[in-house]
Amino acid sequence: MKPFPKKIVCIGAGYVGGPTMAVIADRCPEIEVTVVDLNADRIAAWNSAQLPVYEPGLAAVVGRARGRNLFFIGQGDGAKKMAEADLVFISVNTPTKTEGEGAGKASDLRYVESCAQFISEHARGHTIVVEKSTMPVRAADTIKRILAKNSHGGSFEVLSNPEFLAEGTAIRDLEAPDRVLIGGERPEPIEALASVYRRWVPAERIITTGLWSAELAKLAANAFLAQRVSSINALSALCEVTGAHVDEVARVVGSDSRIGPKFLKASVGFGGSCFKKDILSLVYLCEFHGVPEAAAYWQQVVDLNEWQKRRFADQIIRQLGAAKGKVAVLGLAFKKDTNDFRESAALDICRQLMAAGLEVVSYDPRVDFAEFCQSAGIARGMQPAHTVREALSGASAVAVLTEWEEFRSIDWASMSLVPNAVIYDGRNILDPEMIRRANLLLHSIGGRDSD
């Protein structure tokens, strides 16, 4: 086995595959990194000035490496590259199954299986296959079974190297990760992959474990993060009826060094492509392996989140009542600094507001409005605005759903909202004093309403 991989292929040019491979290529100019995807439009976008993923710092990293040792190619050209590869990352989507055994909870491994099939058909010699996608524990067994059918006499090692980057900070997270996790069964392939990361990650941040622990640790890490958000959101509801303020409660709780301050920001509900699907995958694994009590515990993290989103929309619908009126939605992305709206709270909340017969106008600086409406199943009725000012004009209620920086400094007094309009701050980012001075009313999550 070559001690240091010279040729890497990554299958999947999405939010993880694209930025991760760009950083590897940037940091390891002597490695040829090729990213393959079925989606020809996505590949074309990676090869253009308009990258398919918005991430601060990404364009600069891609600009340095693309065409030098970073290549984005279609599936048709992938077979030849696969035959030359020392190391192959599988970085495709692992959504929740929609049919069959475990539908609604278990991870759908069909895309992973088709990658394993592709590798099995085209790889030559010895190849290290790396699970970069988030997988259920023991998924490597499935991959190994498919690889074993290889007809070229090739040999394989399977590693688990789950990704911990968060969107909006992906480049920072990849360049200076808290940890890199490599799970495997034998030291040599683990060392080969670790040698790549050691080019820029301090050795003490590279954690090695068994395969199954690595697969499960990734699901566990997301479950813990989401659980903190659901915990603080559960408290936000109690704050609203008792006069306590959730930000004050979070500050006190988080200043205990055993707990820490991160992931205690109450919100309209967590979103993103992974928290919900990964927790549901964990729930399914618990059920499948005969621990229903543990399944019920994790299920509650998701249920609380669904309730938080509903609760927020219900408050707006109740306030506007029969008067109906226009609601301005500020922010469609699931968090700031990304164009990603998968599972964003805005999807559910916009749907609910529309179903209640309200007029909804939305503004987001990065999200593609048409794609959002299509994904939300909103065929017509919701209107796009090109600026905050346009969105707020004539609004009776405003729902701030993403914490974009530009929303913090809105000059409320200069906007033409209807008198006594209520601002629903789903992120607790607005200055109550500025809202009050503009003669508007504020409802914050887990806060005290202005009178």
Q: Give the binding site for ligand UGA (CB under 6 A).
A: 134, 163-167, 222, 225, 229, 263-265, 267, 270-272, 274-275, 334-335
Among 267, 273, 315, 428, binds ligand NAD (CB under 6 A): 273
CA 349 to chain centre: 18
Partner in contact with 133, chosen from ligand UGA, ligand NAD, none, beta carbon below 5 to 8 Å by kind: ligand NAD
Contact 419, 439 (CB under 8 A): yes
SS3 for 84? helix
- Give me the least distance between CB of 134 and ligand UGA, in Å please: 6
Check the CA dihedral 403-404-409-412 and report its sign: negative
Partner in contact with 225, chosen from ligand NAD, ligand UGA, none, beta carbon below 5 to 8 Å by kind: ligand UGA
Vertex 101: Cα angle to 100 and 105 (nearest 5)? 100
- Give me the least distance between CB of 417 and ligand UGA, in Å please: 25
> Is 7 among the residues that bind ligand NAD (CB under 6 A)?
no
Query: What is the CB-side half-sphere exposure of residue 154 using CA atoms within 13 A?
Result: 27
Partner in contact with 271, chosen from ligand UGA, ligand NAD, none, beta carbon below 5 to 8 Å by kind: ligand UGA
> Is 111 among the residues that bind ligand NAD (CB under 6 A)?
yes
Choose between 131 and 403: whose C-beta lies nearer to ligand NAD: 131
Partner in contact with 335, chosen from ligand UGA, ligand NAD, none, beta carbon below 5 to 8 Å by kind: ligand UGA
Residues 319-378 that bind ligand NAD (CB under 6 A): none
SS3 for 76? helix
Q: What is the DSSP pairing of strand 359-363 with strand 441-444?
A: unpaired
Partner in contact with 329, chosen from ligand UGA, ligand NAD, none, beta carbon below 5 to 8 Å by kind: none
Partner in contact with 360, chosen from ligand UGA, ligand NAD, none, beta carbon below 5 to 8 Å by kind: none
What span, in angstroms and rounded, lies between the C-alpha atoms of 130 and 162? 9
> Is 134 among the residues that bind ligand NAD (CB under 6 A)?
yes
> Which among 413, 373, 416 has a CA at the least distance from the CA of 393?
416
Residue count of the chain: 451
SS3 for 10? strand
- Give me the least distance between CB of 80 and ligand UGA, in Å please: 31
Choose between 69 and 236: whose C-beta lies nearer to ligand UGA: 236
Choose between 12 and 426: whose C-beta lies nearer to ligand NAD: 12
What span, in angstroms and rounded, lies between the C-alpha atoms of 93 and 370? 22
Q: What is 347-389 written as a DSSP string?
A: HHHHHHHHHTT-EEEEE-SSS-HHHHHHHHT--SS-EE-SSHH
Measured N-to-C along each axis, helices 139-147 and 211-242 cross at an angle, to the nearest 10 degrees, of: 140
Among 163, 215, 348, 425, binds ligand NAD (CB under 6 A): 163
Choose between 160 and 396: whose C-beta lies nearer to ligand NAD: 160
In the 8-state DSSP scheme, what is residue 5? -
Catalytic residue among 10, 28, 115, 274: 274
> Is 11 among the residues that bind ligand NAD (CB under 6 A)?
yes
- Give me the least distance between CB of 172 and ligand NAD, in Å please: 13
Which span (66-74, 96-104, 163-171, 427-435) binds ligand NAD, by CB under 6 A?
163-171
- Give me the least distance between CB of 94 and ligand UGA, in Å please: 10
371-17-272-335 Cα dihedral, nearest 10 degrees: -80
Catalytic annotation on 115?
A: no
- Give me the least distance between CB of 222 and ligand NAD, in Å please: 8
Residues 6+ apart with CB under 8 A from 6: 30, 31, 32, 86
Residues 28-57 that bind ligand NAD (CB under 6 A): 36-39, 42
Choose between 1 and 244: whose C-beta lies nearer to ligand UGA: 244
Residues 6+ apart with CB under 8 A from 387: 363
Partner in contact with 267, chosen from ligand UGA, ligand NAD, none, beta carbon below 5 to 8 Å by kind: ligand UGA
- Measured in degrees and rounded to the nearest 5, phi and psi for residue 209 equal -145, 180
In the 8-state DSSP scheme, what is residue 448? P
The residues binding ligand NAD (CB under 6 A) are 11-17, 36-39, 42, 75, 91-94, 111, 114-115, 133-134, 163, 165, 167, 273-274
Catalytic residues: 274
